[in-house]
Amino acid sequence: MASEEQDRDGVVNMQQPVVFSEGDLVVYPSHGAGCVAGIEAKTILGEERRYYVVYIPDAELTLSIPADGATGLRACSDEESVEAALAALEDGATEMPSNWNHRLKHNREKIRSGEISEVAEVVRNLSVYGGEHGLSTGERNMLMKARQILISEIALVRKTDISEAETLVDGALSNGKDEN
């Protein structure tokens, strides 16, 4: 099943879903980075569909994700993208809506994109905003979730453990505070 995506001019493009193989490193936007542990077919309500079995090591979680491309599953970033995300953590915060629930929606959309640069922006912006104004409970939870997703992807790409990836994120955020 192909998915639709609009480009910047509003033109709808039909995209074929990305096909993953066992062993591929992937990111599931709502849970973080993991590895395709297998591919299986399941029949549900008389319809057979293929599913990726994805193991998320940070959460010690195994997920069955439809292989039709509608879920946002994407390939893990490369080293260049990780470097860009870490650099983004050092940049100044970008403008966010002043209303807390608009900020929440704005940041939720960035996290759902699953893109490491977008997730890094959420971590940076909420960290800076929280230091200046304090965060609502929802925003604190969102910051923790975004950090977990970012750190899990950095750990997989760099082939390191979670604590080392967390140190990299905290160091980059610290460098950003020093410059501002």
Query: Helix (H, G, I), strand (E, B), or coil: what is residue 45?
Result: coil
The residue written with tokens 């100044």 in the block is 92
For the chain, residues classed under CATH 1.20.58.1290 are: 79-179
Q: Which fold has domain 79-179?
A: Methane Monooxygenase Hydroxylase; Chain G, domain 1 (1.20.58)
| CA-wise closest residue to 169 among 106, 126, 108 | 126
Query: How many other C-beta atoms are found inside a 10 Å radius of the C-beta of residue 71?
Result: 17
* Whether the Cβ atoms of residue 172 and residue 179 lie closer than 8 Å to each other: no
- Measured at the alpha carbon of residue 169, what is the angle toward residues 101 and 142, in degrees to the nearest 5? 20
Torsion of CA 45, 46, 52, 57, to 10 degrees: 30
The pLDDT assigned to 44 comes to: 85
Specify the CATH number for 3-75; select among 3.40.50.300, 2.40.10.170, 3.40.50.1110, 3.10.150.10.
Answer: 2.40.10.170
**Mean pLDDT computed over every residue of the chain:** 85
Q: Is the pLDDT of residue 152 over 80?
A: yes
Please state the φ and ψ torsions of residue 89, each to the nearest 5 degrees: -65, -25
Residue where the block lists tokens 């993208």: 81
Residue 3: predicted pLDDT? 41
pLDDT, residue 179, reads 58
Q: Which pair of structure tokens corresponds to residue 65?
A: 């994700």
pLDDT in tens, 17-31: 678 999 999 998 888
Of 144, 164, 169, 84, give the one whose Cα is nearest residue 118: 84
Domain boundaries for CATH 2.40.10.170 within the chain: 3-75
**What pLDDT digit, counting tens, does each position of 38-96 carry?**
999 999 899 999 999 999 998 889 999 988 876 788 899 999 999 999 999 998 878 87
- Indicate if the pLDDT at residue 115 is higher than 80: yes
Q: What is the pLDDT of residue 100?
A: 78
On the CB side of 151, CA atoms within 13 Å amount to 24
User: How far are the Cα atoms of 56, 100, 131, 171 from residue 159, in angstroms, in the given order?
Assistant: 14, 36, 31, 18
Hey, what's the torsion of the CAs at 62, 38, 26, 7, to 10 degrees? -110
- pLDDT at position 162 is 93
Which range (3-12, 54-63, 138-147) has the least confidence?
3-12
